[in-house]
Structure 1
Amino acid sequence: MIRQRVLDKAEFNRLDLSGSILDLPVEDALAMCDALVAHGGRVHIDVIDETYPRRIGVVDEVVRRIPRRLWDAVELHLMVGPDQPLDYPRFGRVVAHLRDPRDPGLAERLPLAGERWISLEPQLWQPEDVRTVVETVRPDGILIMLTPPADAPTAANLDRLLLPSAVEARSLRPIGVDGGARPEHFAHLAELGVSSVVVGRALFQTTKARATGAEQGGTSP
């Protein structure tokens, strides 16, 4: 079940919203893909390999079973090592996470997509590194990580958007944010020049959450 008020709040703040299906079982994830697109959202899929030991990404079965009619609304976020095969369908957006400013190799071999983005942790980058990668790779946009990539869910660190490398990224390309963002952050994100946001648990009302809410006499906003 999608929390419509989250989508409405994103639209009010002129933010494109992607729903992350990272923590959902296979059948639930596929159902949420349909629901997200029906509600006007984008589907955010994290593909994480063993080079990121903290977390397992969306299983390959989900990626392969997404119907072709939904491909344009899929945002594939690749957090993988240099040897990972990239034989994925032509989705609407593909994002390469770059851990090393000196090695944009993953971004240079991204699969074909409607848009090709990069993601980065701004505290690890200098403004000149961002400029160099943008000039080399020519991405359509830059996703700023507000939490450590492939880590357990934590609160978004909005101060990362004020770092010099994030400011530089915003001056060069449209920027989005990923990691811990919640609806109460949307207005501030828009003020900081963010154009898109990835949301996970705050967007989905799962069966477990509904049951917990019923026991407590309601659900949290």
Structure 2
Amino acid sequence: MDEIWAWAADDGLRLLGDIIIPVAAILIPTIIAVRVARRERERAESAAVEERAARAADEQRARALAAGGNVISVLASFVSMNPRTIDMHGHLAALRGSIAVYRAWIPIDDISGDWLALKHTQGMKLWGAAMTAPDVTIVNDQPLFPVALSAAQQWAQDTIETFSGWLRGDTSEAQLSEEGADLLHLARPRPSQWAGAETTEAPGQHP
């Protein structure tokens, strides 16, 4: 009887082996193939996400560069502009708009946006002084209007040089940061730049 049971057990194991081995031979490669395919799909999806992100970043940089170039183009007209011969309001609005577009396209941590906003504030004060400078006022033996106009025009030239250097990669973040700190200091309320200057009436302009 024991021999019968042993034979049956032996035969059962052989039968079981005949079933399990072929099934395992099919299932194991299939499971491995499924896992490999899943990993490959995940890698492909990850690569596609990275590619889309890189493409979006490239497009954003291109738009920021284009917007920066437009800022420089608008600024260029201020280098030789004279508020006595043209209406500046349209030019001032164009400059403000071009800076706003540029800031909209740069990353939030790009320091050039804040620097440009500070330079714009400085420039508006200088051009405001040039636009309102009276002809009859003499400061340190010089008519006030040409002095104020020269300072405003020089602001435009300096801004172009620094900003174009930033777009080319020649101006460092540290340079913009340092100049920005100086601009913030200058923006604090203080006595007029002409306070204490010797002011007289131009010859022949007495009432």
- TM-score w.r.t. the length of structure 1 is 0.21
Task: Identify the structure with the greater helix proportion.
Answer: 2
- TM-score w.r.t. the length of structure 2 is 0.22
Q: Look at both structures and tell me which one has the larger radius of gyration over its CA atoms.
A: 2
Task: Identify the structure with the greater strand proportion.
Answer: 1
